[in-house]
A and B are shown apart, each in its own frame.
Chain A
């Protein structure tokens, strides 16, 4: 499994934050859901996606 380097993670951090602002708060949920589906397709693994969903549900 590939992991992000610290530098890559910083890129993701900024890209996500700026895209959320660009989407506007009213469309943030829709944007994030689209992004999750695109990431799932890129991941190509429903089981891994299910586990990631579990992780994201923690400590909300």
Chain B
């Protein structure tokens, strides 16, 4: 019998709440069947559930534990993640709780050898990065899930078995009151780095596991420093190794430091070892008599691995269950949000019978390709942060030494942060549109660029769980053939709305569902439009077609492609 901890975890900044386990299904007369069961109630599982609900799809979320996760874990969330969290309705709360930032610094021999500021465009609503401890983010997501009638969040339910059939998967679930079975049209495996479903299906991750081990420690201390990324290379107290620091809300600092070779995680996590090394790091920062409390510590080793395919019959993998990425560059959760946001609309349209046969498989091709690109980038960061061989170490050390006087090597400190993937090669992109004729603006496959429309009013605020036709026009109406085509598409069940961007100050544009005043020309300029033009946007805000002039037939054809029918 599954017995999750019933005592709240301890934390210096978060009050853990223990939720009652779901046991009502134990001993039920018949096996329930759900369209989607999400396994895992971490950030990716919960975001998947909330995103499905926006598309009107009900799901069950299985949480093995009875409380949110232990320790700060994922703490840095990118702008793109905030945009996705905005879509599921929690970004405002995350911004209230989190610390925004944009600057990273690298230090060697007490000298700052590199400083990088991530660009913050006035058109962006969210900061490049927002720091918030994972349990706090999960709490926000749990509250949203509990308030959503389409999400059935079941605490204390651990998956122990899986049987796959052509059109259904049956899960065996253990609870504190016994076990039960649950059928799902689709199972989303968001059960994390040690995924039970990945083990049950005997799937192997491909890629590289690096040797260097890092301690992750969270301490409570007021250092009076701004929220910036701090990286220390080869400090006197930890020769040859790297130390990273991030500020978290509530006067918590994350200190990550690499372990000397041959030291075991058990040795590294001994309280006296932690204390001595953290004090040495704080001394280096000029803290004379460090007073701090430990909140949480763990050991981490860098891995850059992915499943080669994320869909296995009725089981779909997302987040850390699908791939394990090094923490340098904040790619774990931030990649996971893009996974689930890329998945959910495809799954929803498939469940509604509106998708072509290629739509759901495109989730795997788009996201595996994203993971491979991220792994290649992450490999570069990892080879600099924790050199894997004597050769890499020597060249890295030569770069550190040169960086004190030679500017040309300093870009090697660039930490290659997670960025939104561009699905430029997706088969969902229209191949017969005017994409190649544009000289500016986001290309097919890229996410939309946010646009500031007015104070506290941005383009992304106006988007929801549907396709959009962004229609730039100087006229007072959308051409009737386009409007009729959109209506026909909508009556087939595919959600599609027209947002008209008025190029001159029209009060209304007939045929448009929403109107944006673009008369300053700024919106059109960012999108490479001179007078007229249109963008077709997927429900995950990625562009799938763009035209200088669009006809009804072209729109229908591009939409069919985006639905995986071609």
Contacts and interface: CB of A to CB of B under 8 A. Distances in A.
Given A38-B406, A41-B408, A29 B394 contact: yes
A37 interface: yes
A36 B397 CA distance: 13
Contacts of B398: 30, 33-34, 36-37
B360 to A, nearest CB: 42
10 contacts: A29-B394, A30-B398, A30-B401, A33-B395, A33-B397, A34-B398, A34-B402, A37-B395, A37-B409, A41-B406
B550 interface: no
B408 A30 contact: no
Q: Top 9 closest A-B pairs, CB basis?
A: A33-B398, A34-B398, A33-B394, A41-B408, A34-B402, A33-B395, A29-B394, A37-B398, A34-B401
Q: Could you say which interface size class chain B belongs to?
A: 10 to 19
A30 B406 contact: no
A37 B406 CA distance: 10
Interface string A18-36: 0000000000011001101
Interface string A37-53: 11001000000000000
B332 to A, nearest CB: 32
Given A37-B409, A38-B406, A41-B408, A30 B397 contact: yes
A30 to B, nearest CB: 6
B399 interface: yes
Nearest to A36: B398
Interface residues of A, number: 8
A38 B402 contact: yes
Most buried by A among B394, B395, B398, B406: B398
B22 to A, nearest CB: 59
Interface string B385-411: 000000000110111011000101100
B397 to A, nearest CB: 6
Most buried by B among A29, A33, A36: A33
Contacts of B399: 37
Contacts of B401: 30, 34
A34 B396 CA distance: 10
A33 B401 CA distance: 10
B407 to A, nearest CB: 10
A33 B399 CA distance: 9
Contacts of A36: 398
A38 B395 CA distance: 12
A57 to B, nearest CB: 12
Contacts of B402: 34, 37-38
Nearest to B408: A41
Nearest to B397: A30
A56 to B, nearest CB: 13
A15 to B, nearest CB: 18
Nearest to B406: A38
Contacts of A33: 394-395, 397-398
Given A30-B397, A33-B394, A41-B406, 9 more contacts: A29-B394, A30-B398, A33-B397, A33-B398, A34-B398, A36-B398, A37-B398, A37-B399, A37-B402
A38 B401 CA distance: 12
Contacts of B406: 38, 41
Nearest to A40: B408
Nearest to B390: A29
A38 B407 CA distance: 11
A29 B401 CA distance: 13
A36 B406 CA distance: 13
A33 B394 CA distance: 7
A34 B399 CA distance: 7
Contacts of A29: 394
A34 B397 CA distance: 9
A23 to B, nearest CB: 11
Nearest to B412: A37
Contacts of B408: 41
A29 B394 CA distance: 8
Most buried by B among A30, A34, A41: A34
A33 B393 CA distance: 11
Contacts of B394: 29-30, 33
Contacts of B409: 37
A34 B406 CA distance: 10
A37 B395 CA distance: 9
A41 to B, nearest CB: 5
